Chains A and B, each alone.
Chain A
Amino acid sequence: MLSESAKTEIKTLMTKYPDSRSAIMPALHLAQREIGWLPDEAIQDVADLLGLSKTEVNSVATFYTMYAREKPGAHTIFFCADLPCALRGAEDMLEHIEHKLGCKAGQTSADGKITLREAECLGGCNHAPVMLIDGVEHQQDLTIEKIDEILERLKA
Chain B
Amino acid sequence: MPKVTIDAKTVEVPNGTLVVEAAKKAGVEIPVFCYHPKLASVGMCRMCLVEVGTPRRGKDGQIEMDANGNPAIAWMPKLQTACTTVISDGMAVRTDSAQVADARRSVVEFLLTSHPLDCPICDKGGECPLQNLTMAYGPGKSRFPVESKFHNEKRVPLGDLIMLDRERCIQCSRCIRFQDELADDHVLGFQARGRGIEIVSLSTPEFDSKFSGNTIDICPVGALTSRDFRLSARVWEVHDYPSVCAHCSVGCNLLICERDHQIKRIVPRENEAVNAIWICDKGRFAHHFTTAPDRLTTPLVRKNGSLQPASWDDALDAIVAKFAEIKKQSGASALAGLGGDRTANEDLYLFQKLFRQVLGSNNLEHRVGWSASNVGVDLVRMYGAGADTNLGALDKSVTALVIGADPEEEQPVIRLRLTRSVRNFGLNLIVANGRVTKLASHAKQSIVYRYGAESAFLLGMIRTILDEGLENKEFIGARVNNLDAVRKSIEPFTVEHCAELCDVKPEKIRDAARLIAQSPSFLILYGREAMAAQQHDPAITSSIETLLLITGHVGRVNNGLIALYPHNNSTGAMDFGLLPTHSAGRVKSDVKGLSAREMLSGKARALYVMACDPAADGNFTKPDLLVVQDLFLTETAKLADVVLPAQSFAERDGTLTNTERRVQLFRAAIKPIGESKPDWWIVAEIAKRLGATWHYRNSAEIMDEIAATVPLYAGVTYAALSDNVMMPRPPYGQGNPSDEPTEIAMGELENVSSGKQWLSVAESDASAKFELFWNEPRGEGREAKNELVLAVARSLYDRGTLVGKTKIVQPRVPAPYVEINSQDAEQIGVGDGARVRVSFDSRVIELNARVDGHVPPGTVLVPNNLDGTAALPMGAWVKIEKV
Q: Mark A59-83, 1 if CB is under 8 A from B, else 0.
A: 1001100000000000000000000
The residues of A that contact B203 with a CB separation of less than 8 Å are 53-55
Looking at B191, B200, B202, which has the most chain A CB atoms within 10 Å of its CB?
B202
**A139 at interface (Cβ–Cβ under 8 A)?**
no
- Find residues 184-240 in chain B having any chain A CB closer than 8 Å to their own CB: 186-193, 200-203
Contacting pair A55 B192 (CB below 8 A): no
Contacting pair A55 B193 (CB below 8 A): no
Cα distance A54–B191 when bound, in Å?
12
Contacting pair B186 A53 (CB below 8 A): yes
Contacting pair A58 B191 (CB below 8 A): yes
How distant is A112 from chain B, measured CB to nearest CB, in Å? Answer: 24
Cα distance A10–B188 when bound, in Å?
24
The residues of B that contact A63 with a CB separation of less than 8 Å are 190, 192-193
Contacting pair B193 A62 (CB below 8 A): yes
How distant is B148 from chain A, measured CB to nearest CB, in Å? Answer: 19
How distant is B158 from chain A, measured CB to nearest CB, in Å? Answer: 11
Cα distance A98–B191 when bound, in Å?
27
Do A58 and B202 form a contact, CB below 8 Å, given A52-B186, A53-B186, A53-B187? yes
How distant is B366 from chain A, measured CB to nearest CB, in Å? Answer: 41
- Find residues 61-117 in chain A having any chain B CB closer than 8 Å to their own CB: 62-63
Contacting pair A54 B202 (CB below 8 A): yes
Cα distance A121–B430 when bound, in Å?
52
Cα distance A47–B191 when bound, in Å?
16
Cα distance A59–B192 when bound, in Å?
7
Cα distance A62–B203 when bound, in Å?
16
**A56 at interface (Cβ–Cβ under 8 A)?**
yes
Cα distance A62–B188 when bound, in Å?
14
User: Which interface class (under 10, 10 to 19, 20 to 34, 35 or more) fits B?
Assistant: 10 to 19
Cα distance A63–B191 when bound, in Å?
7
How distant is A138 from chain B, measured CB to nearest CB, in Å? Answer: 24
Looking at A55, A58, A62, which has the most chain B CB atoms within 10 Å of its CB?
A55
- By beta carbon, the residue of chain A nearest B207 is A55
The residues of B that contact A59 with a CB separation of less than 8 Å are 189-191
- By beta carbon, the residue of chain B nearest A53 is B186
How distant is A106 from chain B, measured CB to nearest CB, in Å? Answer: 11
Cβ contact of A53, chosen from B191, B192, B193, B202, cutoff 8 A: B202
Cα distance A119–B186 when bound, in Å?
31
The residues of B that contact A62 with a CB separation of less than 8 Å are 190-193
- By beta carbon, the residue of chain A nearest B192 is A62
How distant is A67 from chain B, measured CB to nearest CB, in Å? Answer: 11
Do A58 and B200 form a contact, CB below 8 Å, given A63-B192, A63-B193? yes
The residues of B that contact A54 with a CB separation of less than 8 Å are 202-203
- Find residues 604-638 in chain B having any chain A CB closer than 8 Å to their own CB: none
The residues of B that contact A58 with a CB separation of less than 8 Å are 189, 191, 200, 202
How distant is A97 from chain B, measured CB to nearest CB, in Å? Answer: 22
The residues of A that contact B189 with a CB separation of less than 8 Å are 53, 55-56, 58-59
Cβ contact of A56, chosen from B186, B192, B193, cutoff 8 A: B186
How distant is B573 from chain A, measured CB to nearest CB, in Å? Answer: 40
Looking at A40, A43, A53, A54, which has the most chain B CB atoms within 10 Å of its CB?
A53
Cα distance A28–B353 when bound, in Å?
68
The residues of A that contact B188 with a CB separation of less than 8 Å are 55
How distant is A28 from chain B, measured CB to nearest CB, in Å? Answer: 14
How distant is A22 from chain B, measured CB to nearest CB, in Å? Answer: 16
The residues of A that contact B193 with a CB separation of less than 8 Å are 62-63
How distant is B169 from chain A, measured CB to nearest CB, in Å? Answer: 15
The residues of B that contact A56 with a CB separation of less than 8 Å are 186, 189
- Find residues 19-62 in chain A having any chain B CB closer than 8 Å to their own CB: 40, 43, 52-56, 58-59, 62
How distant is B671 from chain A, measured CB to nearest CB, in Å? Answer: 44
How distant is B42 from chain A, measured CB to nearest CB, in Å? Answer: 14
Cα distance A56–B203 when bound, in Å?
10
Q: Mark B163-194, 1 if CB is under 8 A from A, else 0.
A: 00000000000000000000000111111110
How distant is B312 from chain A, measured CB to nearest CB, in Å? Answer: 55
- By beta carbon, the residue of chain B nearest A61 is B191
Cα distance A39–B202 when bound, in Å?
13
Cα distance A25–B193 when bound, in Å?
16
- By beta carbon, the residue of chain A nearest B188 is A55
Cα distance A54–B204 when bound, in Å?
10
- Find residues 256-276 in chain B having any chain A CB closer than 8 Å to their own CB: none
- By beta carbon, the residue of chain B nearest A63 is B193
How distant is A38 from chain B, measured CB to nearest CB, in Å? Answer: 13
Cα distance A62–B199 when bound, in Å?
12
The residues of A that contact B202 with a CB separation of less than 8 Å are 40, 43, 53-55, 58
The residues of A that contact B200 with a CB separation of less than 8 Å are 55, 58
Looking at A40, A54, A59, which has the most chain B CB atoms within 10 Å of its CB?
A59
The residues of A that contact B192 with a CB separation of less than 8 Å are 62-63
- By beta carbon, the residue of chain B nearest A54 is B202
Cα distance A59–B196 when bound, in Å?
12
How distant is A57 from chain B, measured CB to nearest CB, in Å? Answer: 9
- By beta carbon, the residue of chain B nearest A60 is B189
The residues of A that contact B187 with a CB separation of less than 8 Å are 53, 55
- By beta carbon, the residue of chain B nearest A52 is B186
Cα distance A134–B190 when bound, in Å?
26
How distant is B187 from chain A, measured CB to nearest CB, in Å? Answer: 5
The residues of A that contact B186 with a CB separation of less than 8 Å are 52-53, 55-56
The residues of B that contact A53 with a CB separation of less than 8 Å are 186-187, 189, 202-203
- By beta carbon, the residue of chain A nearest B180 is A56
How distant is A76 from chain B, measured CB to nearest CB, in Å? Answer: 18
- By beta carbon, the residue of chain B nearest A59 is B189
The residues of B that contact A52 with a CB separation of less than 8 Å are 186
- By beta carbon, the residue of chain A nearest B193 is A63
Cα distance A141–B191 when bound, in Å?
35
How distant is B204 from chain A, measured CB to nearest CB, in Å? Answer: 9
Cα distance A62–B190 when bound, in Å?
9
How distant is B103 from chain A, measured CB to nearest CB, in Å? Answer: 27
Cα distance A53–B176 when bound, in Å?
13
The residues of A that contact B191 with a CB separation of less than 8 Å are 58-59, 62
Cα distance A87–B192 when bound, in Å?
28
Given contacts A52-B186, A53-B202, 12 further A-B contacts (CB under 8 A): A53-B187, A53-B189, A53-B203, A55-B186, A55-B188, A55-B200, A56-B189, A59-B189, A59-B190, A59-B191, A62-B192, A63-B193
Pull 26 A–B residue pairs with CB atoms less than 8 Å apart, ordered by A: A43-B202, A52-B186, A53-B186, A53-B202, A53-B203, A54-B202, A54-B203, A55-B186, A55-B187, A55-B188, A55-B189, A55-B200, A55-B201, A55-B203, A56-B186, A56-B189, A58-B189, A58-B191, A58-B200, A58-B202, A59-B189, A59-B191, A62-B190, A62-B193, A63-B192, A63-B193
In order of increasing CB-CB distance, the 3 nearest A-B pairs are: A53-B186, A59-B189, A55-B189
